[in-house]
Structure 1
Amino acid sequence: MSKSPAQALLEKADKKANSLSGWFSSANSKWEEAGDLFQEAANAFKVDKMFKEAGDAFAREAECRENSKEISEAADAWGNAAKAYKMGFPQRTLPAVCDALCSWPHWQSRCRLSAGMITHLTYSGRFRQAAEREKDVAQVHLRENNDLRKACESYERGADWYAQEDAVVMAHACYKDAADLHADLEEYPQAIVGYEKVAEYSLSSNLTDTVSANRNFGKYSGQDPSYPARAKPSSCRTSLKRSAGDSEAFTAAVVEFDEVIKLDNWKTGMLLKIKRTLQAADRGVDPGIM
């Protein structure tokens, strides 16, 4: 049975990668040539719709690029490998795909693909792309493993890299997500730091210009017939503050607040934690052992 063009290119690439450097060529040129051949093989496999094999070949190309110190090209190769694997396994997330495909001895981590991409993107100064990958990794940690700690770390790295590229809106969205996770982990000082970053940006943003806000407030409140029934957020916040230390008063204030500004699931969960702490204090019980 004759070999397909893709398989023939793959074998040629393997032979080049495993060869010794000759008298008239350097090790660096060997890896460059092997990387080019693995890339050709990967694209040929894609033509044949053999996406798992294409992903393997792109990943082999990435290693060759690493060996020849082609940092930007290595990042691209890792990215192409991830795309090919996703095409081959559309119902599976990247970590699950990596679990199934980690047949190489040196692939010790199921996130090797993501880590490889991010490392080389940052080394080549492509911080916005690295930030996008970090955000993807954070979401995978949450969906696949419910690992709040690792997701939080990825969001914070992504936020820092977005900030370096002056992508302030994306940066502060990631800081907000990280702060929410710190709060879920009951790391309130770290959560406060994150929220303060977001608040400081919001206060300095043109979107929160007080003159425009006051002008538009009058305009749109007059157009909204339901406005009078919902015009009490400041009094509700005052009620929440005054109810501190009284679990029953706190519950009543939360109900009142929810009628004005609907609470989402995350805020509801945090308020329940506060309520349990107040109830424990009412009974003289340490909330940490509830």
Structure 2
Amino acid sequence: MDNTGKEKEAMALMAEAEKKVKSSQSFFGSLFGGSSKMEEACDMYGRAANMFKMAKNWSEAINCLNRAIEIYTDMGRFTIAAKHHVTIAEIYETELVDIDKAIAHYEQAADYYKGEESISSANKCLLKVASYAAQLEQYPKAIEIYEQIGTHAMDSTLLKYSAKDYFFKAALCHFCVDMLNAKLALQKYEEMFPAFSDSRECKLVKKLLDAFEEQNVDAYTDSVKEYDTISRLDQWLTTMLLRIKKTMREDDSDLR
């Protein structure tokens, strides 16, 4: 089926969903299975959204998902509403490349998941928000999320190992703002979570702080390379580390 066929099918599903919504809102409709009709309408909006996605009609896909979200939230079905918010966020993230809108939908999804006690799902959404916030240089927002999730992780037997990564990312965000901020934050994380002191991540930040204080760009670069030989740096970490290095060079040029 070509894209036009998919869109036609999606439009037909939307029209059918609208009919179900209207009939469920009538007096007799509300007496005879109004909520089940609303469920069916949501299902149809979801299927229509998938058809629009296949046809790469992103705005109509989002429109369908938003209609389903409205109904699900009215019904108190916040977990499934959150899932739809994540789908919309992913469309904005990967297809329409509107990161501010993606962040807004991830935040809304996180709120709904938290309300339903789905902390793990909420945190996944919040980590997306933190990652983008840092890239957009909204460091306080990113730091708050990384610290919050790191604190939650360090108290859990299952998640304890990942706490060091969140404190590492929070420290780098602090470092992007100010070296002293990073130093104080690192001390705080070590006191809160003593296991962090022994991590390669904590040791790296300390080496970078020393190099920064000495304005030694070579020492900074060597420390990053050494870390990267064992733990490969992803794109996000590379971006943050390069930003810090750039401020170091700017500071260095100020001294000359």
Q: How many residues align?
A: 203
- Trace 1:204-215 onto structure 2 (pairs within 5 A): 204-208=155-159
Q: Specify the structure having the higher radius of gyration (Cα).
A: 1
Note if 1:275 corresponds to 2:238.
no
Higher helix content, 1 or 2:
2
Over 3 Å counting, the alpha-carbon distance change for 1:148 and 1:123 in structure 2 is same
Q: What residue in structure 2 maps to residue 241 of structure 1?
A: 209
Report the equivalent of 1:116: 67
What TM-score, normalized by structure 1, do the two folds share?
0.61
Q: Which residue of 2 aligns with 1:185?
A: 136
Q: CA deviation at 1:58?
A: 2.6
Check whether the contact 1:131–1:161 (CA below 8 A) recurs between aligned residues: yes
CA distances 1:246-287 after superposition (whole Å, capped 9, x unpaired)? 3613222211221221111111112122222222222239xx
- In structure 1, C-alpha distance between the alignment counterparts of 2:216 and 2:224, rounded to whole Å: 10
Counterpart pick for 1:91 among 24, 49, 54? 54
Note the 1:84-163 alignment, pairs <5 A. Answer: 84=48, 86-87=50-51, 91-93=54-56, 95-96=58-59, 98=60, 111-163=62-114
Amino acid at match of 1:82: G
Q: Deviations over 1:49-84 (max 9, x none)?
A: x72353233342255157548577446414413314
Scaled by the length of structure 2, what TM-score is found?
0.68
The answer to whether the 8 Å contact 1:72/1:120 transfers is: no
For residues 220-235 of structure 1, what are the structure 2 equivalents within 5 Å?
A: 234-235=202-203
- Identity of paired residues, percent? 29
Q: Unpaired runs of 5+ in structure 2? A: 1-7, 162-198
Q: Is the contact between residue 45 and residue 65 of structure 2 (CA under 8 Å) also seen in structure 1?
A: no
Structure 1: gaps spanning 5 or more residues: 1-49, 99-109, 211-230, 286-290
Amino acid at match of 1:262: R
Residue 158 of structure 2 aligns to a residue whose secondary structure is helix
Aligned-partner residue type, residue 278 of structure 1: M
Per-residue displacement from partner, 1:183-226 (whole Å, max 9, x unpaired)? 1111000111111221121012221469xxxxxxxxxxxxxxxx
Which one scores higher on RCO, CA 8 angstroms, separation ≥ 6?
A: 2
Q: RMSD over aligned Cα, in angstroms?
A: 2.8
